[in-house]
DNA sequence: GCCTTTATTTCGAGC
DNA sequence: GCTCGAAGTAAAGGC
């Protein structure tokens, strides 16, 4: 892996290295004092300050301060990075279309620039997602209730994609909505929409049950579930193989 | 601003510099080959690869590959960073509680380390948010409809916070929900919940109107609005002073 | 491309 | 601390 670094480069030196790094498809980090202007879906302006700029070969751009997980400004993948020196100052501009968005970073001082060939090993295996919960339900339908029989995990309805569809011990259709964590009113509304859609699809008068499978629900969600005559089944969030 | 950089340091040299940087409250970037283990709300495992690790003094940790705006692994602010050398390899561990989460980055090779004093200028002024839309509505209520009179922008209901509440030309109560961009069924559901809540609060039989103010709505949202007898008013998203 | 939903969402406000 | 909703949400999957 090659790493090129410049310590307190001139703006013009930084520009040369930046352009070479773009050419190579490197990931670039830039530390320095800069202002940031963004215009697109919204618009924002950020006064002078010391920041970290990360530029990726896929077009992503991140402006980080010393605080927060979220960049203070950014540009999503698919943007195009361009660098220039204007009035003796390095300027990095990242532009994308649909939607039209521009990120403009103007440096008054560049403290450090590093360019790296970063490749390989992007695949993360995340465990504990909603998909995992679905697998648990299918493997052990009694987690929903005794006698529950899953019929489809990919059923489409007029209202959208239903997590698990099946029938209870008495043969009544059951719509199951899965959430891996405590849920609010939005999830109750989502389940209600699905149940209504299935009621329209089933023969007239068929009673369709709706079950929200989640670790817990908020008070407001509980009220909404009661109002819509939907049910909540508590499941332990993690607990698959580990304890 | 002081910037310390190490090029291809030994694992032990990297450790010393890391600990000094933590002490100083610097932002640190580390390039190298590493594996990443995360365990907390979910769990994940990331095999060896070249990555960029960013450590912030507020406890944030970001693991970036050469793709994507979102880090492949991370730890939110409030975590605590610790570094150590085990079996001759640098290991950075970031831990937080509530919820208990651990991020473990094990390096097989450290290519570059940089530490920076990044301070000041974190405040971004974002224009074009929902709050801006609310100001526009209050300044010109006819954007909702002729004769609309806003009475409250902070009205609380049993179902939650209502963006704008007012009365139409005939004196009927109107619940206005604002969205700065095209909306789906969730927003229609949200508005329906607010309208229902106000109908319960108003004298029996009072007809309460619900108006969704947004640039546009999806087909499904349109159906849902029609079902619930709610209305949609189109507003240009940007368009305040600029054109 | 649009639509829909999930996310280790993050973040902020209010209670 | 929890709840709720916004976000330039991002990212994935389906059409």
pLDDT, one tens digit per residue, over B49-87 is 999 999 999 999 999 999 999 999 999 999 999 999 999
Provide the shortest C-alpha distance from residue A66 to chain B (in Å). 6
Phi, psi of B46 (to 5 degrees): -130, 120
CATH class of B130-234: alpha beta
Distance A103 CA to C14 C1' (A): 33
Whether CB of B117 is under 7 Å from strand D: the answer is no
Nearest residue by alpha-carbon distance to C1' of D10: B70
CB atoms closer than 10 angstroms to residue A219: 9
The number of beta carbons lying within 10 Å of the beta carbon of residue B133 is 22
* DSSP character string of A60-78: -EEEE-SS-SS-SEEE-TT
B32 close to B11: Cβ distance less than 8 angstroms = no
Residue B171 touches partner A, C-beta closer than 8 Å: no
Structure tokens at B236: 């240009």
Q: What is the pLDDT of residue A169?
A: 97
Name the residue among A44, A78, A97, A42 with its Cα closest to residue B67. Answer: A78
Assigned architecture for domain A3-116 = Distorted Sandwich (2.70)
Q: Could you tell me the distance in Å between the CA of residue A149 and the C1' of nucleotide D14?
A: 26
Residues 9-68 (B) near nucleic chain D, CB < 7 A: 68
The predicted model gives A92-112 an average pLDDT of 96
Domain range summary for chain A, segments of one domain joined by +: 3-116, 130-234
Q: Is there a contact between A160 and B119 if contact means CB atoms under 8 Å apart? A: no
Closest CA to A82 of A138, A141, A15, A131: A15
For testing contact with chain B, the best of A25, A69, A109 (most B CBs within 10 A): A69
The pLDDT value given to residue A124: 79
CB-nearest to B65 from A64, A122, A185 is: A122
pLDDT digits (tens, 9 = 90+) for B151-207: 999 899 989 999 999 999 999 999 999 999 999 999 999 999 999 999 998 888 889
State chain B's mean pLDDT as an integer: 93
């Amino acid at each position: 892996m090659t790493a090129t670094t410049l310590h307190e480069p001139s703006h013009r030196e930084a520009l040369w290295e930046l352009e070479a790094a773009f050419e190579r498809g490197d990931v670039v980090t830039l530390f320095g004092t800069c202002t940031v202007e963004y215009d697109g879906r919204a618009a924002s302006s950020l006064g002078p300050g010391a920041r970290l700029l990360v530029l990726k070969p896929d077009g992503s751009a991140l402006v980080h301060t010393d605080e927060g997980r979220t960049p203070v400004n950014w540009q999503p993948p698919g943007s195009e990075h361009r660098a220039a020196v204007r009035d003796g100052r390095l300027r990095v501009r990242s532009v994308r279309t649909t939607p039209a968005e521009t990120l403009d970073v103007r440096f008054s001082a560049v403290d450090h620039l590093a360019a790296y060939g970063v490749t390989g090993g992007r695949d993360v295996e995340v465990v504990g997602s909603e998909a995992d919960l679905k697998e648990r339900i299918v493997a052990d339908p009694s987690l929903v209730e005794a006698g529950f029989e899953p019929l489809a995990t990919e059923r489409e309805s007029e209202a959208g994609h239903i997590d698990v569809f099946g029938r209870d011990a008495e043969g009544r259709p059951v719509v199951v909505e899965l959430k891996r964590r405590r849920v609010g009113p939005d999830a109750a509304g989502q389940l209600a929409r699905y149940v209504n859609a299935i009621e329209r699809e089933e023969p007239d008068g068929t009673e369709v049950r709706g079950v929200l499978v989640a670790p817990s629900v908020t008070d407001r969600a509980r009220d909404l579930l009661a109002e819509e005559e939907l049910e909540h089944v508590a499941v332990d969030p993690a607990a698959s193989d580990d304890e």
